[in-house]
Chain A
Amino acid sequence: MRTLRRFGAEGAALVVATVVFLIPFALMLLTAVKDEEQAIDLDFAWPTSWPVVENLMAVIEARDYVLLRAYVNSTVLTVASVALIVVFAAMAAFVLQRRPGKVAKVADLLVLSGLIIPPAVVPTIWLLQTLGLFKTMPGLILAEVAFNLSFAMLLFKAFIAAIPRELDEAAQIDGCGGVKLFFRVVFPLLRPVTITVILTSSVAVFNDFVNPLYLLPGDDNATVQVTLYNFQSQYSTQWNLLFMDIVLITIPPLLLFVFFNRKIVAGMTAGAIKG
């Protein structure tokens, strides 16, 4: 009886989650494989024809293969930014959590400001221009790092708080200094939250729309989100191609997630953090 009810509850959870979270994805996929005329209706009607390959090629070939270049650009941008975010934020958050005082208060305030203040686009452009970094990939990378640091630090800080200080002290007794202590002892313990940070900042950077548009303009430098504009203009939209594009640019974060998903669970259940 009990197992039966359990099955019922699990079944219900499964159905609800599937409906709520997966139906929108079904719509994307379905529209992506319709022909242009039927796609305008934007309903769940079964496709009358299946121009899957045609749509795929149309999206890839559009604007002189801009999508392929965009994939390369987005990958470089995401990998570099996220690497810097993780290292910088973890280091700063560690000191911030462990060493309270005036400096920490200022740092806390800056973290909060980073979350609160919307970045000012045009002054940022001017600044990057002065530094000779405007319209360059390193410039955009640094901007993404600056805009996403606060969030990462918040996550790191919260989890460093859960790592008992006794651990640091034990490590120190073993002769570990600041840098060693952090990179050898603390950083490995941060793996679960590091994975969360990697995932969230990758998604944030990869899905960013506004900053690449302004800080790294031009078809050669397009990132994947900017390609959405190719099929959706002010006046008309090719829905089938738009959704095919959405599907294609959603695949990389999805793959990243599938890859990291187990690591999250593994990293967490390994019980790295134990009181």
Chain B
Amino acid sequence: MTRQDAGPRTGPGLPTGHARATGARRRAAYPYAFYLPAGIVYVVIFLVPTVMAFYFSLTRWTLFDSEFVGLQNFRDFFAEQNLSIGFANTFVYAVLTSGLKVVLGLLLGVLLTSKLRLRGFLRSVVFFPVLVSTVAVGITFSVLLRPDTGLVNKTLALVGIDGPDWLGDATTALLSVALVDVWKGVGLATVIYIAGILSIPQEYHQAVAVDGGSAWHRFRHVTLPLSWPATYSVIILSFIGGLRSFDLIWTMTRGGPGFTSDTIASIIYKQYQAGFYGLSTAGNVILFVVVTAIAVPLTWFLGKRQVAA
């Protein structure tokens, strides 16, 4: 607490002293001790069990005892017949949901920060689905998407379209779940965008207005680039969430019909449910590697753009 006093008094003519003082001041202003509470909880409750799980992925594990089997679980996991469908579905699902959340979230964010009279009401309405538990959303939409009595097909019938059995048909099941995921998640993306757009200093908007820029000009040159941190958060969160997602898929289709809407996470969960704990943890390790392989370059790339922007 005493070191910081030296900081501001250092004259600009002494570059080395200045650098040292800045470092000291930084240490005082941003103490590593701030990491401690979060770090302890995280490491003990999350990281330690995760590392234990990595060990169990090398065993045949019944919960009652475990037997070391080396890489057998990984071989078995890759031999899973529906694994290629699972990989493809996982990727499609993640791209589709995160893409739609970015586009719709940004549009809604812009709309709901404009001078709309019903802004407050619409903000609430868009955010409502975020508040409902995934299980409840899954149950409700399974009902709405029923082929005969469901509202979606009844509405389509009004305009003469014979709607499919959305969740029971292999061609539409995954798509339907992805759209429901967007319905549920877009409110969060919108809020992140609203916060991002509102944190853009007014001066920028005024500058563009003085230049006589159109609304589109303003969006293209101020809102879009300056809400980049929001875009970054939305992409990272929804993409990783999409890769990992399983609870909505599980409540709505259980990976079915057959294996057609299985994702890696639902395959892992089914193995877990079947009591193949070792195999399922091996799957978790693989999922982790896959997500890391995609997410780390993505964060790096997006992070670089963030700096550039």
With A123-B53, A124-B49, A178-B29 as contacts: A25 and B128 at CB distance below 8 Å: yes
Distance A88 CA – B78 CA, assembled complex (angstroms): 39
Question: C-beta contact mask, A236-275 vs B, less than 8 Å → 1, else 0?
Answer: 0000001000100110011011100100110011010111
Q: Which residue of A23, A103, A146 contacts B45 across the interface (Cβ within 8 Å)?
A: A146
- Which residues of A are found within 8 Å of B137, using beta-carbon distances? 24
User: On chain B, which size bracket covers the interface?
Assistant: 35 or more
In this complex, the interface size class of chain A, counting residues with CB under 8 Å from chain B, is: 35 or more
* B201–A275 touching, CB < 8 Å: yes
B7 touches A20 (CB 8 A): no
Contact status B44-A177, CB under 8 Å: no
Among B42, B53, B124, contact of A261 (Cβ-Cβ < 8 Å)? B124
A-B contact count (CB 8 A): 253
The contact string, 1 if C-beta is below 8 Å from chain A, for chain B 42-56, is: 101111111011001
Given A123-B53, A151-B237, A177-B4, CB of A88 within 8 Å of CB of B41: yes
B151 touches A27 (CB 8 A): yes
Nearest to B51 among chain A residues (CB) is A123
Q: Which residues of B contact A91 (CB under 8 A)?
A: 34-35, 37-38
In the complex, A198 has a CB within 8 A of chain B: no
B159 to chain A, nearest CB (A): 14
A110 CB contacts on chain B under 8 angstroms? 39, 42, 47
Which of these, A17, A113, A258, contacts B122 with CB under 8 Å? A17
16 A–B contact pairs at CB < 8 A? Answer: A14-B122, A18-B125, A31-B143, A87-B37, A107-B39, A112-B292, A112-B295, A116-B240, A119-B49, A122-B63, A122-B277, A127-B48, A177-B28, A246-B139, A246-B140, A274-B202
Shortest 6 CB-CB contacts between residues of A and residues of B: A120-B53, A123-B49, A207-B133, A275-B201, A146-B45, A88-B38
Given contacts A112-B295, A200-B130, 6 further A-B contacts (CB under 8 A): A24-B137, A31-B143, A110-B47, A116-B244, A126-B49, A256-B131
